[in-house]
Structure 1
Amino acid sequence: MSQTLLIADDDPALAQVLARALGRRGFTVSVAGDMAAALALVQAEAPVCAVVDLKFGAESGLRLIEALHRHHPACRIVMLTGYASIATAIEAIKLGAVHYLAKPASADEIVAAFERQNGDAGVPVTAQPLSVERLEWEHIQKVLSEHDGNVSATARALNMHRRTLQRKLAKRPSPNPPPRV
């Protein structure tokens, strides 16, 4: 018997690719392209697993994680995002996600994330500090989280023009370069 899976992503191409790939791995997949459709599926179905995008249209996928966890506490939720930050990873886990993956992630990585039961104390700790660009991104994400995703309030708290903050949020920080050997 296959497991039911909800994919909540506002990128229809990515959602369909994931749906096909996870369907081939034995899941019965439902796809939601916006928050209203996702919440309706949460009410109508009892997904065993869910893949939730962080930037879900104009809304935060964190709210969907909260609703999923409230209605289906046993649901294995993986947050998938192209806008990864420490603040959102922490909030996703606190709200009930079992894993947090940065895009692009393969279907195999997503299935492995569903199956992981415990953390990995053996994850290597890098000796290289975060780049200035990454530190700025993390700070903005922390302040944004403190203001419940309100961009205007976050801009005021950062003493930054709202449009400047919106431009920064539209960009993804580049990952730290690999350490030189």
Structure 2
Amino acid sequence: MSDQPRLLLVDDDETFCWVLERALKKRGFDVAVARTVESGLEQATQLTPEYAVIDLRIGHDSGLVLVKKLKELDINTRIVILTGYASIATAVEAIKLGAVHYLTKPADADEIVAALHKQSGDPDVELKDKPLSVKRMEWEYLQKVLMEHEGNISAAARALGMHRRTLQRKLDKRPVKE
């Protein structure tokens, strides 16, 4: 057994995992990699990691499910959520579920390690002067409704009064920047 801190990395992007795993090992972590929520949960149960880096979207599954399960296994696990699909709703939910930080991709290993060790928020974070665009507000709202329905696209679509495939198509698009 290693005296290095155990870190669970869960992301479905094989290349990203390979690169980040190597970078985190160089920074002193004993890294276990999973590419599905199920295998991430299985490894977490076996390893009880001190740290976890979880992608928000793992295939068609939500990484937030894994955040909740990891916190149920060990309340002290420090979790960072990574995503290419940042939204206010998912950031808030990640923190409510127990993540210590939420980073948008591309994030490098140094940013991730800093986020894992961060103890408090930053009051000097830059505030935007310009409000969100209508398209971005729609995307944020869809994310919020999806989170309210625990990632269940069919239930969220019913609540929104739209067809499930329409909602999936809207969610699969990358969010507009502003």
TM-score class normalised by the smaller sequence: over 0.9
1:61 aligns with 2:66: no
| CA–CA distance in structure 2, aligned partners of residues 72 and 11 of structure 1 | 26
Instruction: For 2:123, give the aligned amino acid.
Output: A
The CA deviation string for residues 118-140 of structure 1, in whole angstroms up to 9 with x for no partner, is: 01112121110011221011010
Aligned residues: 176
RMSD, aligned α-carbons: 1.2
What is the TM-score normalised by the length of structure 2? Answer: 0.94
Instruction: For 1:127, give the aligned amino acid.
Output: D
Where does the alignment leave 5 or more consecutive residues of structure 2 unmatched?
A: none
Q: Which residue of structure 1 aligns with residue 41 of structure 2?
A: 39
Instruction: For 2:158, give the aligned amino acid.
Output: R
Q: Which residue of structure 2 aligns with residue 99 of structure 1?
A: 101
| CA–CA distance in structure 2, aligned partners of residues 39 and 153 of structure 1 | 24
How far apart are 1:85 and its partner, in Å?
1.0
The CA deviation string for residues 107-163 of structure 1, in whole angstroms up to 9 with x for no partner, is: 111011011100111212111001122101101011111222221222222222222
1:118 aligns with 2:120: yes
Secondary structure in structure 1 of the residue aligned to 2:100: strand
Secondary structure in structure 2 of the residue aligned to 1:105: coil
1:3 aligns with 2:22: no
Q: Which residue of structure 2 aligns with residue 72 of structure 1?
A: 74
What is the TM-score normalised by the length of structure 1? Answer: 0.93
How far apart are 1:20 and its partner, in Å?
0.6
Moved over 4 A (4+): none
| CA–CA distance in structure 2, aligned partners of residues 153 and 78 of structure 1 | 27
Secondary structure in structure 2 of the residue aligned to 1:157: helix
1:143 aligns with 2:145: yes
Percent sequence identity over aligned pairs: 57
Secondary structure in structure 1 of the residue aligned to 2:33: strand
Instruction: For 1:48, give the aligned amino acid.
Output: E
Where does the alignment leave 5 or more consecutive residues of structure 1 unmatched?
A: 177-181
1:169 aligns with 2:155: no
